[in-house]
Structure 1
Amino acid sequence: MPFIDTPETNALKSKVEKLLSEIPDFTDENKNLKINVIKDYADNGNAKLLEPLLKNPQTKKAFFTPVLDSFVFNTAKFKEFLEYSSACNSYSKYLGQKIGLYMGDLSLLDINEVVLNFPFKDCVLEGGQRKEDGLDTYYEYDDKKGEYEKKQSKRREVFYNEVLAQYEIDSLFSPKAFCNTKRYEKGKSEKCTKLNRDAELNKKRGLSEDTITDNLIIKGNNLLALHSLKKEFAGKVKLIYIDPPYNTRSPTADTFIYNNNFKDSTWLTFMRNRLEIGKKLLSKDGCLIIAIDENEHSYLGVLLHELFDTEYEIHNITIVHNPRGVQGTNFSYTNESAYFVIPKGKKSIVDRKIAPDEIEWRNLRDNGGESLRTDAKNCFYPIIVKNEKIVGFGEVLLDDRKHPKQEEKKDGYSYIYPIDIQGIERKWRYARQTVEGIKDLLRVKKVKNHLEIELGKNFGTFRTVWQDARYDANEYGKKLINDLVPNCPFSFPKSLWNVYDCLYSVVGKDKEAIILDFFGGSGTTAHAVEELNKNDNGKRQFILCEQMDYINTVTVPRVAEVQKRNEGGSFVYLELAKKNETALEQISDCKSLEELTELFDELCSKYFLHYNVRVKEFRKEIESERFKQLNLKQQKEMFSRMLDLNQLYVNTDDRHDKNTGLTEDDIAITEDFYQLAKDGE
């Protein structure tokens, strides 16, 4: 039965509000209850919610049903009461944010059966890839030619839930060990076994003193890299900027060197897995920016609303990045989009800078209604000018005597008063006590035979359409990166200034922010962070994740060269330590069945096999005529299925296992990264 206003119901409402308001997780900065968070706790049966409700006789009676010696929480009744409590002071029983479809008294958003559904939604997609073209190569024997013919196919994506149980996925997401770590500084690299933790910088950030402050570039599967970052950086990242694969429909598209032809449902799974963990890394005031084009724009929007809608605003920004256009059948595409996901109710976006030639100037002297000297006496004072530059401000003239001139000259200085050409005494737009704060926005302009003071704001609110010659991906993307890394294979990288302005819009005033990009690509995000720091002496920190092999031929060299040219900065390069991932790469590189067969013993002795693999039976199988009739691609798949997909990378807990191949230096950097020695582990 729906709740109605009665003294008993209102008393229960007061009791519930009091109990919940005492739990920090359930209130925002203004001490308002976070209804959607409480609902999530109710759905999950979280003890933080259930214990206080169960201990109080009034709430225990209302929301718990006695069963034998226990009490069962009535989740549906409690959530219905929350809806009532939130709406009982309004003119409708429905919450303002719950406009939409209802089934009876329940919003469809609150019914578990109504979801954004797509194939593999609840799966974990590896999205692993190391080759730039995203293709697996295999060779097929041509009987007519009497030779092997080279074949290629798109990589088969691994959905972990096809082969792993949930507890195994938990193990999969455990922190990974690191290897091959190097510190880059002034264009040179050296071995690194210890990371920097600047206590003074962390104090400014409001973070624990032992938080890592090094810039980081991590090679490895970005899903596993994100889970490895969780312990150190959860709740600390101010901005996540990503430029994920656009999932273009054209099989020849090469605008993004990545697996760029997922099915829509696969792409959504791929993104959901990564956004869910990325969200946990964001600070309370953290923001997310995702660059995207028309191919997955609408799908991504729906996904973002599902994952972030309760506590975030979602804005869609258009950026003209290719003024020449990419010709389609009906339209020439000149723009892409950027989704800005920012905390609700907060001023998260800073004011944009306006170019000097775009500033709109107006007279500092007021006009129109209430612009006279008598309307604001503290706005009538002289502005002191020398050589057509403002050098100071005089004191307010408090007497009522009429001032004779708009300009007075004394000892080589001009004293300019707010008097118009008719001799009417007016006022400046800013009072004497505030005008010095906007001195940089003022200029002196000579008009005929006298001087005027003008005001021009060099900042303004960011608009939803960004158009600037600097965003041209050819001029400030391809050409720029080729200057840093000659013969770079990226055909259409982002304009540096496109990314720069995106970052600036969020962290332009936060000089100590942590910025994460887990689709690191050619390193444009790191480059933009370096430019931000160079321009305002900031100490912003970047973290990049990239799994492709070009990280060592493009990303790292680019960032190292930028820091060298800027004469400052450093970063640490780390790799997720591979185990079975190395075996998969070896299988992929085989050019014939003979090479695969030669690899068999090494796979069995060195790597982790799937629990149901019987080595003797499999050996007989690969020697059979039936197996030889398969093409090389199929044979490789059979070999790949021998491996335990839960062991692609080395778990931190296994770092001392000699079978991992980790060196003493690898173990040292892993323990330092996770501070294992400090934790007594």
Structure 2
Amino acid sequence: MKALEQEFTGKVKCVFIDPPYNTGSAFEQYDDGIEHSLWLSLIRDRLELLHRLLSEDGSLWITIDDNECHYLKVLCDEIFGRINFVANVVWQKRIQPDMRATIGAGHDHILVFSKNLSIFKQKLNILEQTEDQRNRYKNPDNDPKGPWISADFMAKGFRPNQMYEIVTPSGKKYKPRPGSCWRNIESVYQTLLSENRIWFGKDGDSVPRKKTYLSESEGIAAWTWWTNAEVGHNQEAKKECNALFGVENTFETPKPERLLRRIIHLSTNPGDLVLDSFAGSGTTGAVAHKMGRRWIMIELGEHCHTHIIPRLKKVIDGSDPGGITEAVNWRGGGGFRYFRLAPSLLETDRWGNWIINKQYNAAMLAEAVCKLEGFRYAPSDEHYWLHGHSTEQDFIYVTTQTLTHEQLQALSEEVGASRTLLVLCLAYRAASPDAYPNLTIKKIPQAVLSRCEYGHDDYSLQVENLPAAPPPMPEPEDEPTERKPTRQLGFDL
């Protein structure tokens, strides 16, 4: 993820992650008192980076079970701020109880945090009504505006200008119940009445209710209870994977495409960028692609090649008929680029000093340093010193040479007064770097040491990869001591 920071900071609209829970036998060789803190310390680094990648109207969605949910909520509060907590969605992940458990877990949590809640609220989409919800609209009075549903015209609270008397068509009179008032002031009520938007029941003598027409309904707001009938369940997700990869090559813990469809629908619009840094079987990318979103997925496991890439190829060529394909009328198209994480730019020599990795040739080094320094790599055929640019007048030059005063002076003259050049070299000999007003000179590797994490090969969240807890100290043996006479305390009764 660190490689994304320069280009995508503040540009990701939705982050969805399904991190590994790390429970069970993996903890046997670790200090039982620190397993949660170890897991949380690993996830913290990722959350801090994800927070920086999110746009101001962006949001984070994390699926998690009961084992870590409440610890994770507190950690997210710290990083995102409690004010930016949106919801704890309860997803019904099973269709029947697990008879092996004391009390079967029928749900997972989806923790939702925003980068800026006030902005996120304005951008959050609503849900389309389901067929069952649309069927609740009726038209018992043959209203020409079509089917409608009604809601109580009373509201809680006391507002003096909403405490008038209403007379029904049958002549019955109503006033608000104690502790309530009418939903609108009297002039608004009269307008609604004239538009036939008030319903008094089939006999015309019931407490007034306000009509809402199906033709005027744009949808419904999401809430925190997501049933498996609406967004799928674990068994559905497993069937989707079996159809894609075969039973012998299935994925253990996939999420159903319908679940990702709801998350992406609520939090993004077509063209927005979706990120999943625990890509798993590739569900997030597949669903985002079918919904017309841009996406980035990150995966360290071998299933990147066995599951994700084959799955996305099927999505692109239109040969994936499952999941949400029919619901969104997906017929194929688009494409994706695949990148492999480069070896560490820096490594340590036998004395522990940072040096440039020998696997990097000159072009690889220049491209890597351009990225770390915020320049676009675009080597010039005309100027040997032009490896990239950040603006039309600001350029970068990367070399492993030791530059002399004469070389720097010649370089400064060739660059010219109207341009600036960032020079990164192994070393330089000059009376003062200020002698070249259009050059900024830095040494490598020192200049890039703080830009990234080097010499680290394993970025997984597997607890097996963590340092083992130190072995317990042996209990000291009791040494025989000479018994001394004790002082007696006497009381004269």
TM bin (shorter chain):
0.5 to 0.7
Q: Compute the displacement of 1:310 (Å).
A: 5.2
Q: Contact 1:470 / 1:476 at 8 angstroms: preserved in 2?
A: no
Q: Give, as a single letter, the amino acid of the residue that structure 2 aligns with 1:246.
A: Y
For 1:570, the equivalent position in structure 2 comes to 335
For 2:129, the equivalent position in structure 1 comes to 354
Aligned: 1:344 with 2:97: no
Three-state SS of the structure 1 residue aligned to 2:4 is helix
Three-state SS of the structure 2 residue aligned to 1:497 is helix
Aligned: 1:484 with 2:185: no
Q: Contact 2:87 / 2:113 at 8 angstroms: preserved in 1?
A: yes
Looking at structure 2, the residues matched to 231 and 669 of structure 1 have their Cα atoms a distance apart, in angstroms, of 12
Aligned: 1:243 with 2:13: no
TM-score (norm. length: structure 2): 0.55
- Number of residue pairs the alignment of both structures matches: 317
Larger fraction in helix: 1
Residues 633-661 of structure 1: CA deviation (Å, up to 9, x unaligned): xxxxxxxxxxx9x88xxxxxx6xx7x325
Aligned to 1:294, which of 66, 69, 76? 66
Looking at structure 1, the residues matched to 283 and 347 of structure 2 have their Cα atoms a distance apart, in angstroms, of 37
Aligned: 1:467 with 2:227: yes
Residues 319-346 of structure 1: CA deviation (Å, up to 9, x unaligned): 0112234445411111100100023334
Aligned to 1:375, which of 176, 179, 190? 190
Q: Give, as a single letter, the amino acid of the residue that structure 2 aligns with 1:678.
A: H
Looking at structure 2, the residues matched to 356 and 309 of structure 1 have their Cα atoms a distance apart, in angstroms, of 38
Aligned: 1:531 with 2:290: yes
Q: Cα distance 1:318–1:379, how it changes in 2: closer, same or farther (>3 A)?
A: same
Q: Contact 1:494 / 1:524 at 8 angstroms: preserved in 2?
A: yes
Looking at structure 2, the residues matched to 322 and 419 of structure 1 have their Cα atoms a distance apart, in angstroms, of 43
Looking at structure 2, the residues matched to 301 and 365 of structure 1 have their Cα atoms a distance apart, in angstroms, of 38
For 1:452, the equivalent position in structure 2 comes to none
Q: Cα distance 1:611–1:237, how it changes in 2: closer, same or farther (>3 A)?
A: same
Q: Compute the displacement of 1:273 (Å).
A: 0.6
Looking at structure 2, the residues matched to 365 and 522 of structure 1 have their Cα atoms a distance apart, in angstroms, of 42
Aligned: 1:543 with 2:296: yes
Looking at structure 1, the residues matched to 301 and 149 of structure 2 have their Cα atoms a distance apart, in angstroms, of 60
Q: Give, as a single letter, the amino acid of the residue that structure 2 aligns with 1:352.
A: L
Q: Contact 1:355 / 1:458 at 8 angstroms: preserved in 2?
A: no
Looking at structure 2, the residues matched to 674 and 326 of structure 1 have their Cα atoms a distance apart, in angstroms, of 54
RMSD (Å) for aligned C-alpha atoms: 4.1
Looking at structure 1, the residues matched to 192 and 95 of structure 2 have their Cα atoms a distance apart, in angstroms, of 52
Q: Contact 2:94 / 2:235 at 8 angstroms: preserved in 1?
A: no
Q: Compute the displacement of 1:274 (Å).
A: 0.7
Looking at structure 2, the residues matched to 358 and 528 of structure 1 have their Cα atoms a distance apart, in angstroms, of 25
Q: Give, as a single letter, the amino acid of the residue that structure 1 aligns with 2:341.
A: L
Aligned: 1:675 with 2:376: yes
For 1:309, the equivalent position in structure 2 comes to 81
Q: Cα distance 1:280–1:483, how it changes in 2: closer, same or farther (>3 A)?
A: same
Q: Cα distance 1:498–1:609, how it changes in 2: closer, same or farther (>3 A)?
A: same
Looking at structure 2, the residues matched to 332 and 674 of structure 1 have their Cα atoms a distance apart, in angstroms, of 53
Q: Compute the displacement of 1:306 (Å).
A: 1.4
Aligned: 1:554 with 2:307: yes
Residues 148-174 of structure 1: CA deviation (Å, up to 9, x unaligned): xxxxxxxxxxxxxxxxxxxxxxxxxxx
For 1:266, the equivalent position in structure 2 comes to 38
Q: Compute the displacement of 1:358 (Å).
A: 3.0
Three-state SS of the structure 1 residue aligned to 2:96 is coil
Q: Give, as a single letter, the amino acid of the residue that structure 1 aligns with 2:130.
A: A
Q: Cα distance 1:298–1:610, how it changes in 2: closer, same or farther (>3 A)?
A: farther
Map residues 45-194 of structure 1 onto 2, 5 A cutoff.
none
Q: Compute the displacement of 1:371 (Å).
A: 8.2
Looking at structure 2, the residues matched to 371 and 662 of structure 1 have their Cα atoms a distance apart, in angstroms, of 87
Q: Compute the displacement of 1:494 (Å).
A: 0.9
For 2:51, the equivalent position in structure 1 comes to 279
Q: Contact 2:95 / 2:228 at 8 angstroms: preserved in 1?
A: no
Looking at structure 2, the residues matched to 496 and 506 of structure 1 have their Cα atoms a distance apart, in angstroms, of 16
Q: Contact 1:321 / 1:471 at 8 angstroms: preserved in 2?
A: no
Aligned to 2:93, which of 321, 326, 333? 321
Residues 202-241 of structure 1: CA deviation (Å, up to 9, x unaligned): xxxxxxxxxxxxxxxxxxxxxxxx2211111111111111
Q: Compute the displacement of 1:547 (Å).
A: 1.2
Structure 2 unaligned runs (5+)? 28-33, 140-147, 154-165, 170-187, 319-330, 378-387, 397-493
Residues 414-439 of structure 1: CA deviation (Å, up to 9, x unaligned): xxxx9998899xx9978xxxx9xx7x
Residues 481-504 of structure 1: CA deviation (Å, up to 9, x unaligned): 232233434123111111221222
Q: Cα distance 1:675–1:263, how it changes in 2: closer, same or farther (>3 A)?
A: same
Q: Cα distance 1:331–1:371, how it changes in 2: closer, same or farther (>3 A)?
A: same
Q: Give, as a single letter, the amino acid of the residue that structure 2 aligns with 1:559.
A: L
Looking at structure 1, the residues matched to 98 and 224 of structure 2 have their Cα atoms a distance apart, in angstroms, of 22
Q: Cα distance 1:336–1:499, how it changes in 2: closer, same or farther (>3 A)?
A: same
For 2:105, the equivalent position in structure 1 comes to 333
For 2:434, the equivalent position in structure 1 comes to none
Aligned: 1:228 with 2:3: yes
Residues 650-676 of structure 1: CA deviation (Å, up to 9, x unaligned): xxxx6xx7x325696997799699613
Q: Give, as a single letter, the amino acid of the residue that structure 2 aligns with 1:518.
A: S
Q: Give, as a single letter, the amino acid of the residue that structure 2 aligns with 1:517.
A: D
Structure 1 unaligned runs (5+)? 1-225, 253-261, 382-417, 443-454, 534-539, 581-606, 614-643, 648-653
TM-score (norm. length: structure 1): 0.41
